[in-house]
Amino acid sequence: MTPFVSFLMIVMAGLLVAAFMCLYRISRGPTAPDRAIAIDILGTLVVGFCCVMAMWTGQAFYMSIGIAWALLSFIGAIALAKYLEGRQYDE
């Protein structure tokens, strides 16, 4: 195991801890916007995972997955915000 691979494993462990904190907030969040924020943050973290996998395997297509994931996460965040804004208060 080269030092670079062990460094990437440490990075992956840090990102996993952050992702589990996001999952805690998704499962426990008191309101719907909490969950929307945590889903948005989780989508940004997955781009970091894609970077780590691209460096680990040396394949460039993981970065394409990252770009597509960032785009879908942005569209999802905008859609969730629209849904939250259009909802009535007592529904």
Partner 1 sequence: MNETIAQWIIGIGVAFDLLGCIGLVRLPDVYNRLQAATKCVTLGTCMILFGTFLHGAEAGRWQMGVSALLCAVFILLTSPVGAHAIARGAYRSGVRLWEGSVIDRFGEDLHGVHPPAERAEPADDGDPAAEPLESKS
Which chain residues interact with partner 1 by CB under 8 A?
4, 7, 11, 14-15, 17-19, 21-22, 24-25, 31-34, 36-38, 40-41, 44-45, 47-48, 51-52, 54-55, 58-60, 62-64, 66-67, 70-71, 73-74, 77-78, 80-85, 87-89
User: Measured from the CB of residue 50, what is the shortest distance to partner 1 in angstroms?
Assistant: 8
Burial (0-12, 13-18, 19+ Cβ within 10 Å), 90: exposed
Neighbours of 43 (CB within 10 A): 18
Distance CA 23, CA 65 (A): 21
**Shortest Cβ distance from residue 1 to partner 1 (Å)?**
15
